Chains A and B, each alone.
Chain A
Amino acid sequence: MAAVKQTVEHVESLEKYKHGFVTDIEQDFAPKGLNADIVRFISAKKNEPEWMLAWRLDAFERWLAMDEPDWAKVSFPKIDYQDSYYYAAPKEKVGIKSLDEVDPDILETYKKLGIPLREQEVLAGVVGAPRYAVDAVFDSVSVVTTFKKELAQVGVIFCSMSEAIREHPELVKTYLGSVVPVSDNYFACLNAAVFSDGSFVYVPPGVRCPMELSTYFRINAENSGQFERTLIIADKGAYVSYLEGCTAPMRDENQLHAAVVELVTLDDAEIKYSTVQNWYPGDPETGRGGIYNFVTKRADCRGDRSKVSWTQVETGSAITWKYPSCILRGDGSSGEFYSIAITNGRQQADTGTKMIHLGKDTRSRIISKGISAGRSSNTYRGLVSAHPKATGARNFTQCDSLLIGKHCAAHTVPYIEARNGKAKFEHEATTTRLSEDQLFYVMQRGLSQEEAVQLLVNGFVKDVLQELPMEFAVEAQKLVAISLEGSVG
C-alpha cells in the first residue's frame, strides 16, 4: 500500500515545512553589514589571490552606484543590505581525510533533508551507492566533493569555486563574468562582490561526463545571505548534465539568495541544467519569512551547434525572480527552457526565460507551466529576440497557467522582437482553471478531491517533468503534489 503510506507522509508533512530545522554547528561569521572591508574579509577568508580581490572590489564599487530594480510583478519590504551577514562558514576541522570526520551534525542535516537523490548514501560512503558526484554547498562553503578522482580520470574538473580560483586560475579568469558581466544587474553585481562559494565544472573537449553532476544548496545560518557562483564550461563536443537541488530551513527573517550561474558551451557541446527549488516559502497565512530567490542564470552557446537545456521545478521561496536564459551565438545552436512554477499561500513568482538569437539557424523552445493557488501570484515573463543576422532562427513558446482558487493571480508577459525576415516565431498561451468536468469525472471514479487535483495537475505539468533526469522526475512529481496540499476544498 505504497499510495496510502505516501498519503500519510504527505499529511504529516503538512504539519510544518519538512525541511524547517536548524542545525547548530559552530559558524564563522563575517561581521554584519556590507562594505569594502567585508569584501576583503571574505576574500581573505578564502585565501584568494590578489586578482580575485580586485575583481570583487571593482564589483562592489559598481554595485554602490546601481539602483535596485523594481519592475517585476513582486512586492516585498525594502531589503536592508546592511542588516545581513555576508559570510558564514562551518568551522573547519583541520585535515579532514574522510567523510567520517565530517561534522556529524552536517551528516545529520543531509539525512533530515529527505534526500531526493540518495546523496546521503554517497556522502556516507555506502558501497554500491549510485554514481552521482555531489558538491555540497553548506552555507556558502563546499564541504565535500565526492567522486573527484573518478572525474579527474576523464579530465572533468568538478570542484568548489574557491578551489577553482586557486587551482585553475586560467579557466576562471577566462570565463568568470564572461556570460553574466559584473554589472549586468543589481543582484548579479552584489553576488560578484560577495560571492561565497559555488560549483565549478569544466568538461574537456570530446568528453561525455560519465555521471550526473549534482550540487546541494542549503541556507542554514540565520540572516546569512547565500551568494553562490556557479560556472560550467563544456568544451568542444563535450556533454554534461548538472542537477541542482535546494532546501532551506524554516526561518522568520527573510533571507536573500542572489546566486549567479554561468554556462558556456563551445562547438558541438551540450549542457543540461536541472533545478528543483524547494526553499521555505514563508508562512502560508501571513507570508512571513521565506526566501527571496533573486538569481541570475544565463547560458552562452558560444560554439556552433552547441546546446543548452534549462529545466526547472520551482515550488519554494517566498519570492522567485529569475530568468534562466540562452544567448544563441553560435550558428545552429539551440536553447531549451522547461519550467514548472508552483505558487501557493502568499508566494510570488516572476520567472521565465530569454532566448536571444544571434547566430544563423538557431532554434529555441520554451515550455512553461505555471500553477497558482491560495493567495499567490505567478508571472511568466519571457523574451524571444532575433538579431538581423539570425536568419533561419526558429522559436516555439508555449506557456500555460492554471488557477486554483479565487484569490490567486496568473500573468503572462512575453516579449517578442523579430528583426529578421527569415526568422519564425510562434507563441501560444492559455490561462484557465482546473476543468470542473475533469474533476468530476475523476472524483466520480472514487478519488478524493485532493487526489483528483493532484492527478490533473500532474497531467498538466507532464511535458516538463519528462525533461527532468529520471531520479529528479520522481521526486519532483511528489513535490508538485506536496506544494499544492491544502489548496483545494
Chain B
Amino acid sequence: MSIATAIRDRDVAELPGRRDEDWRWTDLRGLIRKLPPPSEPFTAGVGDGPFDALAAERRVVVNGRGAEPIEVPRDASSIVAVRFVSRGAGVHIARLNIFLGANARLVLLESYESNGASLSEAALNITLGAGAVVERVVLAQDHAEAVSVSQADVTLASRATFGQTTVASGARRQRLETRVLHPGGQASLRLDGVYLLADKRHSDQTTVVTHAGTDGVTAQLTKGVVRDQARGVFQGRIVVEEGADRTDARMGHHALILSDRAEVDAKPELEIFADEVACAHGNTVGALDEDALFYARQRGMPEDDARALLTEAFIGEVVDRIDHAGAREVVRAWVAERLRG
C-alpha cells in the first residue's frame, strides 16, 4: 500500500486509505479516483528555496528527478539544502539516500514546494554511523491542491544523535512521516513538528520510533494550530522492544482549534515490551485560553494581535528547540507570517 506501488501498477485501489490503520485520517484512496498523468521533466527555473542562503551545498529535485545520494564521510561536517519541487499536475516519485560516517555531522534543510494539483512522494533513507549527528529541518509549503507525501526512514547507530523539526502548512492531503530505528545503544532523538493550517487544508505528521538498543532517549513535541475547515493529524508511536532497557521516551502533542469547523485527530501510542523504562505522552486539544486573551486585551492589545501573540508563543516553544540558528530564524519568520497573515 503506497503511492509508488499504485503508480507502478496504475491502480488507484493500491493507494493507502481509511481502512489502513496507519492512514485512517489521511484517506488517499477515497480522494483520488484517477491517477494524474505520468511525471514530465521540467526544465524552466524554479526560483530560490527558503534555505538557500544557509547551505554550503544546494540540491534541487524537480518532478522526482535529480535525487543524487548525499554522503558525509567520517568526521566531516556539512550543511545541505534539498528542495523537492513539483511543477505541473503529474505524479512525481523521488528517492534520496543519505549516509553519515562515524562522528560525521550534517544539517539537512529540506523543503517541499508544489504549485498545483500534483501527486508526489519523496522517500528518504537516512543512515547515521556511530556518534554521527544530524539536524533535519523540513519546511513543507505545498499548494492547496497538491497531494504530497514524504517518508523518511532513519537508522541510528550507537551514540548517534538525530534532531528533527517538520513545519507544515498543509495541502489537499499532506503527510510527513518519519520512522526512526534505534538499533544501537545510547542513541538520542528529538522529533518535533509544527502545523499551521487554514482553509480546507490537511496535514498529517506521523512518527514511529522503535527503540531496539539500550539507553535510548526520545523527546517529541508537536504543536498545531488549525482554523477554518482545516484538519490536522498527529500519529506518534513509540515502540520499546524487549531488552531495550533504560529507554526514556516522552511525547507531547498539543493543538489549538481556532474555528468551529476545524478538526484535529491524534493518536499518541506507546508499545512497551521492556520493564526498565520511563515512557509518557501527553495530548491536549482545545481553544485559546480565554483568560490569557482577556488579560492581553485588558492591557490595550487589539484582539487579533492578542490572538497572534498567544499562538506565536504557543508554537514558539517548538521553534526554539531548533539548534541551527539560521534555520530557526527562517522557521520563526515563516510561522509569524502565517499566524499574522
Interface residues in chain A, defined as those with a beta carbon under 8 Å from any beta carbon in chain B: 71, 388, 391, 401, 403-433
Contact = CB atoms under 8 A, between A and B. Distances in A.
Contact of B262 (A71, A404, A408, A421): A421
Given A388-B260, A411-B270, A419-B263, A71 B21 contact: yes
Contact of B280 (A408, A415, A425, A428): A428
Given A388-B261, A411-B271, A427 B282 contact: yes
Contact of B270 (A391, A412, A421, A423): A412
A404 B265 CA distance: 32
A414 B257 contact: no
Contact of B275 (A408, A422, A423, A427): A408
B287 A427 contact: no
A429 B278 contact: no
B73 interface: no
B287 A421 contact: yes
Contacts of A417: 263-265
29 contacts: A388-B261, A401-B270, A403-B277, A406-B274, A410-B272, A411-B272, A412-B269, A412-B281, A414-B266, A414-B267, A415-B265, A415-B266, A417-B264, A421-B258, A421-B261, A421-B287, A422-B260, A423-B285, A423-B286, A425-B283, A427-B268, A427-B284, A428-B280, A429-B281, A431-B278, A431-B280, A432-B277, A432-B278, A433-B275
Contacts of B255: 418
A410 B240 CA distance: 10
B280 A430 contact: yes
Contacts of B262: 421
A407 B242 contact: yes
B31 to A, nearest CB: 18
B260 to A, nearest CB: 5
Interface of B: 21, 242, 255, 257-287
Contact of A406 (B242, B267, B270, B281): B242
Given A403-B272, A427-B268, A420 B260 contact: yes
A403 B275 contact: yes
A344 to B, nearest CB: 14
Contact of B273 (A409, A422, A425, A426): A409
Given A412-B270, A420-B260, A421-B258, A428 B283 contact: yes
B322 to A, nearest CB: 26
B283 A426 contact: yes
B121 to A, nearest CB: 26
A418 B265 contact: yes
A421 B283 contact: no
Interface centre among B266, B270, B286 (most CB of A within 10 A): B270
B281 to A, nearest CB: 5
A432 B279 contact: yes
Contacts of B275: 403-406, 408, 433
Contacts of A405: 275
B268 A414 contact: yes
Contacts of B284: 424-427
Nearest to B281: A429
Given A412-B281, A416-B266, A427-B268, 6 more contacts: A388-B260, A406-B275, A414-B268, A415-B266, A427-B284, A431-B278
Contacts of A432: 277-279
Contacts of B242: 406-407
B285 A413 contact: no
B337 to A, nearest CB: 23
Contact of A431 (B259, B263, B266, B270): B270
A415 B277 CA distance: 23
Nearest to B264: A418
A320 B242 CA distance: 23
Nearest to B282: A428
A-B residue pairs, 6 tightest by C-beta? A424-B286, A403-B275, A427-B283, A421-B257, A416-B266, A412-B270
B222 to A, nearest CB: 13
Contacts of B257: 418, 420-421, 423
A410 B279 CA distance: 11
Nearest to A436: B276
Interface centre among A401, A417, A422 (most CB of B within 10 A): A417
A426 B287 CA distance: 12
Contacts of B265: 415-418
Nearest to A428: B282
A418 B285 contact: yes
A431 B279 contact: yes
A358 to B, nearest CB: 15
A149 B281 CA distance: 52
Contacts of A388: 260-261
Contact of A429 (B270, B277, B285): B270
A259 B271 CA distance: 28
B272 A425 contact: no
Given A403-B275, A433-B277, A425 B270 contact: no
Interface centre among B283, B285, B286 (most CB of A within 10 A): B285
